C-alpha cells in the first residue's frame, strides 16, 4: 500500500517524534481530568480535514473487556466478506503503526510518516485558531486513522474507544452500529468508582436512532443504564445475552470450537482466540454483523465463519513453549479479566505449579488482581515495564508480601524478570505473564526477538516546520 497512496520526505523517526511531542495522557503519569477533554477540539480537527469523520461507514466499539478482540473479529468478518476495512485500536504492543490497520495488518512506517506530514498543518491550525488548547496525541491519531481510511477508499472503519465513551475522541462519528462489550470496574479514578458511573460513560457512544449491540453484562446496573439510554436515544438495543446462546466444544492451545445460535440460525465456529469469554465477544461481533446485514450490507454466513477462524489478536491468552517450558501471555489488567483468566487456564494447558511474571500500571487495582491470582499459589516475579505509568517492582513486591504470596524476585525490567522465570521454572510449571499489556508486550519481544519503539520525546517541545 505504501507507494500507491503516499510519498513524503519525512522519516518515520521524525514522524514519531512529531507525534509524541503532543500531549500523551495514555502514557503520561499525570492525568489532566475531564476538564481538558473537549470533543469540539477533535471535531475542529476533523473539519480542517474536510469532515473526515463522515467519510467512511463506522462500527464504533466501547467497553471494559473484550473490545479489542471484538473489533478484530468484526474487522476479520467484514474483510472475509470482501470489504476493505480500517481498524483503529489502542494501545499498541510494539509499534504505533499497529493502531492504524487495514484489515488486521498494521500500516507501513512510510504511510505513517506521510500521514503525519499530511495532518500536521491541521493540528497546528486547531491549536492556533481554536479555543480549547492543543490537540492531544490520541486525538491526532484518531483523525489520522480516519484520514487514511478515506484516502484508501475503505468500505468500513472499526473504531475502538480509547477510554470511556462520551468524551473519547472517537465519539465524533455517527456509526452504522454502536457496540458496548462487557463492563467492569476499571480506570475508576477517571470514569468513576461504580459500575453505573462507568456504564454511563460508555453509553455516551449511543447515538439517536443508531442500533446498539450490548454484550453480556455481569452487573445488572450496567444493563439498566444501557436500556435507559437506548430508550432516550430512540436506539434499538440488541442484547447479545438475550439474542444468542452458545456452547463450547473441543479446545486446545491452537483454538476452540463454539456453536452459536441466534435468530438467524446456528453458526458452528472455530477460533484461535482462547478463553470461554471469547464466546461472548464472538456473539457480540456476530450481532453487530447481523445489524449490518439488516441494513443491506452483503455479508454471507461463510464470511462470518471464516472471519472468526482467521482472526488474530496478539497478547491475549497466547500460549508458547520455550526451553521445554509452557508460557501464557495475557494482557488482562483488571480484577474481573484476571479472574476469568485464572478460571480458564487449566482448560487449555496442563501444569503442576505456576511462576507468575506480574506487573501493573498505576491506577489499576494490583491488590485485587493479585488476590485473584493468589488461588494459583504462584511463585511471583514482580516486574517493571518501560511504560511511563508502570508501577515500580518494589511497590508490586510490597503488595505481594502484604497478601502473603510467595515473592521470589523483584526485577527492574520485564526482560530480567522473564529470564529469571525461565531459569526457575521446571518442565511441568506454567510461566504466566500478565497484569498489563505493557508487560505482555515486553514478554513477546523477548520470545520473538522484536525490536520495540522507544519514545524519548514524550514531553519534548513541538517541532517547528
DSSP secondary structure of 29-84: S----GGG--HHHHHHHHHHTTSGGGSS-EEEEE-SBSHHHHHHHHHHHHHHTT--
Q: Is there a contact between 76 and 311 (Cβ–Cβ < 8 Å)?
A: yes
Whether 327 has a pLDDT exceeding 50, the answer reads yes
Question: C-alpha distances in angstroms, 348 versus 17, 367, 379, 408, 428?
Answer: 42, 26, 21, 26, 14
What is the residue whose three cell numbers read 470533543?
A: 39
- pLDDT over 70 for what percent of the chain? 91
Give the C-alpha separation, 141 to 119, whole Å. 9
pLDDT in tens, 207-259: 999 999 999 998 788 999 999 999 999 999 999 999 999 999 999 999 999 99
Output the pLDDT for position 164: 76
Q: Is there a contact between 61 and 181 (Cβ–Cβ < 8 Å)?
A: yes
Whether 457 has a pLDDT exceeding 60, the answer reads no
Whether 70 has a pLDDT exceeding 70, the answer reads yes
What is the residue whose three cell numbers read 487495514?
A: 102
Residues of the chain with CATH 3.40.1190.10: 2-310
Give the C-alpha separation, 427 to 77, whole Å. 38
Whether 336 has a pLDDT exceeding 60, the answer reads yes
What residues are paired with 239 via a beta bridge?
214
Whether 31 has a pLDDT exceeding 80, the answer reads no
Give the C-alpha separation, 93 to 440, whole Å. 8
Q: Is there a contact between 164 and 191 (Cβ–Cβ < 8 Å)?
A: yes
Lowest mean pLDDT among 29-33, 268-272, 337-341, 429-433: 29-33
* 1 burial via Cβ count (<10 Å: 0-12, 13-18, 19+): middle
- Domain 318-448 sits in CATH at 3.90.190.20
Q: In whole angstroms, what separates CA 382 from the centre of its chain?
A: 24
Output the pLDDT for position 131: 81
Mean of per-residue pLDDT scores for the chain: 91
pLDDT band at 464 (very low <50, low <70, confident <90, very high): very low
Give the C-alpha separation, 357 to 337, whole Å. 16
Lowest mean pLDDT among 65-74, 262-271, 450-459: 450-459
Whether 405 has a pLDDT exceeding 80, the answer reads yes
Exposed e or buried b per residue across 3-19, where buried means at least 16 C-beta atoms within 10 angstroms of its C-beta: eeebebebebeebbbbb
Whether 87 has a pLDDT exceeding 90, the answer reads yes
CA neighbours within 13 Å on the CB side: how many for 312? 8
- pLDDT over 90 for what percent of the chain? 79
Higher pLDDT: 220 or 68? It is: 68
Whether 287 has a pLDDT exceeding 70, the answer reads yes
List, as one string, the DSSP characters of 368-404.
Answer: HHHHHHGGG--EEEE---SSTTBPPHHHHHHHHHHTT
pLDDT band at 91 (very low <50, low <70, confident <90, very high): very high
Output the pLDDT for position 188: 47
Whether 460 has a pLDDT exceeding 70, the answer reads no
Q: Is there a contact between 155 and 77 (Cβ–Cβ < 8 Å)?
A: no
Q: Is domain 2-310 classified as CATH 3.40.1190.10?
A: yes
Output the pLDDT for position 35: 46
pLDDT band at 365 (very low <50, low <70, confident <90, very high): confident
Give the C-alpha separation, 207 to 22, whole Å. 30
pLDDT band at 455 (very low <50, low <70, confident <90, very high): confident
Output the pLDDT for position 168: 93
Residues of the chain with CATH 3.90.190.20: 318-448
pLDDT in tens, 132-189: 888 999 999 999 999 999 999 999 999 999 987 888 999 999 999 999 999 976 654 5
What is the residue whose three cell numbers read 514531553?
A: 459
Residue 70 grid coordinates: 471484538
Amino acid at each position: 500500500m505504501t507507494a500507491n497512496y503516499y510519498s513524503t520526505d519525512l522519516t518515520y523517526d521524525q514522524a514519531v517524534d512529531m507525534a509524541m511531542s503532543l500531549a500523551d495522557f495514555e502514557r503520561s503519569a499525570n492525568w489532566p481530568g475531564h476538564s481538558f477533554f473537549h470533543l469540539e477540539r477533535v471535531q475542529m480537527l476533523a473539519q480542517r480535514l474536510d469532515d473526515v469523520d463522515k467519510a467512511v461507514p463506522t462500527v464504533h466499539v466501547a467497553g471494559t473487556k473484550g473490545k479489542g478482540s471484538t473489533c478484530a473479529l468484526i474487522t476479520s468478518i467484514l474483510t472475509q466478506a470482501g470489504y476493505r476495512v480500517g481498524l483503529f485500536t489502542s494501545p499498541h504492543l510494539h509499534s504505533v503503526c499497529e493502531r492504524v490497520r487495514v484489515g488486521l495488518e498494521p500500516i507501513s512506517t512510510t504511510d505513517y510518516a506521510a500521514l503525519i506530514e499530511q495532518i500536521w498543518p491541521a493540528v497546528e491550525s486547531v491549536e492556533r485558531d481554536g479555543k480549547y488548547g492543543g490537540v492531544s496525541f490520541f486525538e491526532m491519531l484518531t483523525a489520522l486513522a480516519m484520514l487514511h481510511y478515506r484516502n484508501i477508499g475503505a468500505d468500513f472503519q472499526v473504531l475502538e474507544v480509547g477510554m470511556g465513551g462520551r468524551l473519547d475522541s472517537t465519539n465524533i462519528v455517527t456509526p452504522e452500529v454502536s457496540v458496548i462489550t462487557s463492563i467492569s470496574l476499571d480506570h475508576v479514578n477517571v470514569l468513576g468508582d461504580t459500575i453505573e458511573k462507568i456504564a454511563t460513560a460508555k453509553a455516551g457512544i449511543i447515538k439517536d436512532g443508531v442500533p446498539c449491540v450490548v454484550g453480556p453484562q455481569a452487573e445488572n446496573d450496567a444493563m439498566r443504564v444501557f436500556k435507559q439510554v437506548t430508550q432516550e436515544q430512540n436506539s434499538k438495543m440488541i442484547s447479545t445475552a438475550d439474542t444468542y446462546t452458545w456452547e463450547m466444544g473441543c479446545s486446545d492451545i491452537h483454538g476452540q470450537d463454539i456453536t452459536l445460535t441466534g435468530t438467524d440460525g446456528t453458526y458452528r465456529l472455530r477460533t484461535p482466540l482462547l478463553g470461554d469469554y471469547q464466546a461472548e465477544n464472538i456473539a457480540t461481533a456476530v450481532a453487530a454483523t447481523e445489524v449490518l446485514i439488516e441494513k443491506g450490507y452483503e455479508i454471507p454466513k461463510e464470511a462470518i465463519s471464516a472471519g472468526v477462524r482467521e482472526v488474530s489478536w496478539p497478547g491475549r491468552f497466547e500460549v508458547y513453549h520455550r526451553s521445554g517450558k509452557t508460557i501464557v501471555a495475557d494482557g488482562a489488567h483488571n480484577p474481573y479479566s484476571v479472574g476469568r483468566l485464572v478460571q480458564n487456564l487449566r482448560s487449555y494447558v496442563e501444569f503442576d505449579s505456576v511462576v507468575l511474571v506480574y506487573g501493573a500500571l498505576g491506577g489499576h487495582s494490583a491488590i485485587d488482581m493479585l488476590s485473584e491470582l493468589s488461588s494459583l499459589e504462584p511463585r511471583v516475579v514482580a516486574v517493571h515495564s518501560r511504560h511511563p505509568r508502570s508501577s515500580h517492582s518494589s511497590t508490586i513486591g510490597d503488595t505481594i508480601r502484604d497478601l502473603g504470596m510467595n515473592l521470589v524476585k523483584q526485577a527492574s525490567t520485564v526482560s530480567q524478570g522473564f529470564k529469571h522465570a525461565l531459569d526457575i521454572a521446571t518442565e511441568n510449571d506454567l510461566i504466566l505473564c500478565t497484569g498489563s499489556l505493557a508487560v505482555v508486550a515486553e514478554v513477546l519481544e523477548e520470545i520473538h526477538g522484536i525490536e520495540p519503539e522507544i519514545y524519548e520525546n514524550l514531553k519534548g517541545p513541538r517541532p517547528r516546520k
